[in-house]
Amino acid sequence: MIGTTSPADPISAPETDHVSDDALCDLTLVHEDRVRAARAARADGSEMEALAETFQVLASPTRLRLIEALTRGEMCVCDLAAVSGVSQSAVSHHLRMMRALRLVRYRKESRMAYYRLDDAHIEAVFRTGLEHVRE
């Protein structure tokens, strides 16, 4: 993965004529200060991976329909299957993923499982995203 042309990996730079602290890579840098700031913030890059996983859950029309439905209140799995237009099995798979990333929570009452959105962040992201695509 650390390929020969990967420009951000200083390992591939020769030690002899390494330009000490001024060059971060072998490419020209225009906003060097911003590059440094961004690379420093990238140190805790695992946060970006967690965030990407969260957005990945949102990156599906079916799951977005589930979320939109849940903005109207809690629903059981069979309701959500009817809403989303896929099989109950598929909904269950989706809900498991959404649970793992804490987008939804559920309570179990006898045979039924009632799902709802986990917190306000989810609905906020959903609505802001919708505003963007509508603009």
Contacts of DNA in 63-92 (CB under 7 A): 63, 76-78, 86-90, 92
Closest to 111 in 3D by CA, of 76, 81, 75: 76
**Alpha helical stretches, state H, the chain:** 32-41, 46-58, 61-70, 77-84, 88-100, 120-134
- 45 lies in the binding site for a second copy (CB under 8 A): yes
35, 54, 62, 74: residue in contact with DNA (rule CB under 7 A): 62
Q: How far is the CB of 96 from a second copy (least distance, A)?
A: 18
Give yes or no for a contact between 70 and 119, defined as CB atoms under 8 angstroms apart.
no
- 6 lies in the binding site for DNA (CB under 7 A): yes
Give yes or no for a contact between 10 and 22, defined as CB atoms under 8 angstroms apart.
no
12, 13, 69, 105: residue in contact with a second copy (rule CB under 8 A): 69
Binding mask 75-104 for a second copy (x = CB under 8 A): xx-xx-xxxxxxxxx------------x--
